[in-house]
Amino acid sequence: MTLVGTGEIVAPALRSRSGVGAFNVIQLEHAQAIVAGAEAAGAPVVLQISENAVRYHRGLAPIGTAVLAVARAATVPVAVHLDHATRRSLVEEAVELGFGSVMFDASVLPYEENVRATADVAASCHAAGVWVEAELGEVGGKDGVHAPGARTDPREGAEFVSRTGVDALAVAVGTSHAMLTRTATLDLDLIAALRAAVPVPLVLHGSSGVADGALTAAVAHGMTKINIATHLNKAFTEAVRRRLAAEAELVDTRVYLGDGREAVAGEVARLLRILTAPHPAGPADAPARSCAEGAAGRPL
Cα Dmax for the chain: 60
Bridge partners (DSSP) listed for residue 104: 85, 134
> What pairing do the DSSP bridges indicate for beta strands 223-228 and 202-204?
parallel
Q: How confident is the model at residue 208 (pLDDT cuts 50, 70, 90)?
A: low
Provide the 3-class DSSP secondary structure of residue 3: strand
Nearest to 206 by CA among 223, 190, 226: 226
Residue type, 42: G
Mean pLDDT of the region 203-223: 83
pLDDT at 212: 78
Rounded Cα–Cα distance for residues 221 and 73 (Å) = 34
Helix %, strand %, coil % of the chain (to 5): 50, 15, 35
pLDDT at 107: 84
pLDDT at 51: 95
The CATH class given to the 6-275 domain equals: alpha beta
Lowest-pLDDT range, 28-42, 58-72, 164-178, 218-232?
Answer: 164-178
DSSP 76: S
Lowest-pLDDT range, 39-43, 100-104, 132-136, 293-297?
Answer: 293-297
What pLDDT, in 10s, does the model give residues 85-96? Answer: 999 999 999 999
Q: How far apart are the first and last CA of the chain?
A: 19
Domain locations along the chain: 6-275
Rounded Cα–Cα distance for residues 14 and 272 (Å) = 15
Mean pLDDT of the region 232-249: 96
Concerning whether 259 is annotated as a catalytic residue, the answer is no
- Give yes or no for residue 294 having a pLDDT over 50: no
Catalytic residue among 83, 153, 187, 259: 83
